[in-house]
Chain A
């Protein structure tokens, strides 16, 4: 509906605009199209959720946007500027990613200090000392964690470090790839609260990938459902709460998230 699109444009500028994104893996006969014609746009300060099962291509979309997968085509524009295949240094400063597994995404032999200060050095920031301390306070850890190693931290604490690392370069957009799926529900609540607080404070734009519909309903305003590399439905969170999605597959996902139902 063009009318609703117009009202949206009046509200806020588009922070991330993806049009007809295709991602390929393999070559020749083996060439596989993992993401098919995906188009989404997220306004600045918005929170967009991508849900779907494993293998549906939801993480691959994030990886293509962040530059971790080179074999894609289509247009990706950040703050109105289309991005090229070769990423500029300044691009890293606008967009950062938090990965799924906090046990794998931190270098085991780098101290937290090194993990957090490395991006600052690469981007020639000043006041590195203060920034690292402040970042640790911001994610609720405190400066005493600065010289520890990842193995001395719990899963939730590691994910806080990963979030701090993503925030070091003061990005506008955070890509969150299942940030809580490896954590207990009590820790998940802490991390989700932290993410909401940071978004409010810094006016960030979030793209959250998850398979947990309750998490996506809690965090996001708009939700795209992916299946087999395609977006089957984009809906706002109210539609999802009222369990009125149009697509069969979305209904199935919603039903399953309600818990177990014996065979009919």
Chain B
């Protein structure tokens, strides 16, 4: 494969309080090419923090430290805050989990989407509006014109999420970080949203980091899976081989899932081993 789009080496995210330092991400290394990479883990495993730290979106008192965060040959850590703003949205986009907290409540949906487009291009207002409506149609929103003129509280959660995705995709980023983008959506809408992202990866060669806790979904949607536990990578494998994963944590997660076709009386419960936290992180390079 060609040179990876994103290379991260020895990434740490720490939150210091007066009493102690919480290490949310502990020395992980991975790379993403023009492919779909899934990051799975339970809540608190550091998967969202990983996504945010790449875009330098960790707020005080959080601290990010890494030997290397390179995107497309560019050292992201060396960029100024102003240069970073050009990267966010334009080159790397982040779709967050909850549309209720990520859309501006006092700004019309359409204005927010066109703004995302106009910040990064020299498009005129009418051009931006046309593009925005086309994008809303692309994410399967019926009545795109009406939605363009409505406020976030007037649309449903699923629609809000699709609006977020439209907004993130309109500047045509090279890398999309999607943090649980479909957790709030119904299964049928979820499939449409995934198809849109899939198409962008296939046709435009976009890279995708897909953060999720849904093992089945990641196994069927992604090319590669990174499994995180306690802030470190415990295992990495090809998505279609997730069923044969070796690490006891991954096995535990897989066994805890109920299966439609294989009924069992009791679900197996994950037994945690403190050793998993202490072991060094696994590198997940291409």
Contacts and interface: CB of A to CB of B under 8 A. Distances in A.
Interface of A: 53-55, 155, 184-190, 192-193, 196, 211, 213-215, 217-219, 237, 240-241, 252-254, 256-263
B257 A214 contact: yes
Given A54-B157, A240-B260, A260-B194, A211 B187 contact: yes
Q: Chain A: interface secondary structure? A: helix
Given A213-B260, A260-B220, A218 B267 contact: yes
A259 B216 CA distance: 6
Contacts of B266: 193, 196
Contacts of B188: 53, 252-253, 256
Given A186-B42, A214-B259, 7 more contacts: A189-B257, A190-B269, A217-B258, A217-B263, A253-B188, A259-B221, A260-B221
A185 B191 contact: no
Interface string B251-286: 011001111110111111110000000000000000
A260 B256 contact: no
Contacts of A252: 188
B79 interface: no
A240 to B, nearest CB: 7
Contacts of B191: 256, 260-261
A185 B263 CA distance: 17
B256 A186 contact: yes
6 contacts: A184-B42, A189-B267, A256-B191, A258-B216, A259-B219, A260-B217
* Max chain B Cβ within 10 angstroms of own Cβ: one of A155, A213, A214, A253: A214
Contacts of A211: 186-187
Contact of A217 (B186, B190, B260): B260
Nearest to A214: B258
Given A252-B188, A260-B194, A241 B268 contact: no
Contacts of B256: 185-186, 188-189
B43 interface: yes
B182 to A, nearest CB: 10
A241 B191 CA distance: 21
A54 B188 CA distance: 11
B43 A184 contact: yes
Given A211-B187, A253-B187, A260-B191, A189 B269 contact: yes
Q: Which 5 A-B pairs have the closest CB atoms?
A: A259-B220, A256-B187, A218-B258, A189-B256, A189-B267
